[in-house]
Chains A and B, each alone.
Chain A
Amino acid sequence: QLQLQESGPGLVKPSETLSLTCTVSGGSISSSSYYWGWIRQPPGKGLEWIGSIYYSGSTYYNPSLKSRVTISVDTSKNQFSLKLSSVTAADTAVYYCARHVAIVVVPAAMFFDYWGQGTLVTVSS
Chain B
Amino acid sequence: QSALTQPASVSGSPGQSITISCTGTSSDVGSYNLVSWYQQHPGKAPKLMIYEVSKRPSGVSNRFSGSKSGNTASLTISGLQAEDEADYYCCSYAGSSTSFFLVFGGGTKLTVL
Contact = CB atoms under 8 A, between A and B. Distances in A.
Interface residues of A, number: 27
A96 B102 contact: no
B34 A115 contact: no
B34 A107 contact: yes
The main secondary structure of chain B at its interface with chain A is strand
Interface stretch (A59-67, A69-77, A83-91): A59-67
B110 interface: no
B89 A47 contact: yes
B97 A104 contact: yes
The main secondary structure of chain A at its interface with chain B is strand
Contacts of A104: 97, 100
B35 to A, nearest CB: 9
B46 A112 contact: yes
Contact of B100 (A107, A112, A113, A118): A107
B82 to A, nearest CB: 23
A115 B93 CA distance: 18
Contact of A111 (B1, B3, B36): B36
A111 B105 contact: no
Given A63-B1, A109-B51, A110-B100, A118 B95 contact: no
A107 B48 contact: no
B34 A96 contact: no
B46 A116 contact: no
Given A107-B95, A110-B93, A116 B45 contact: yes
Interface string B85-108: 000010101010101111111110
The 7 closest A-B pairs by CB, nearest first: A111-B36, A111-B51, A115-B45, A49-B102, A110-B93, A110-B34, A47-B104
Interface of B: 1, 3, 32, 34, 36, 38, 45-48, 51-52, 57, 89, 91, 93, 95, 97, 99-107
17 contacts: A39-B46, A49-B91, A49-B101, A49-B102, A60-B99, A60-B100, A62-B102, A64-B1, A105-B97, A107-B32, A107-B95, A110-B52, A110-B100, A111-B34, A112-B36, A112-B46, A116-B45
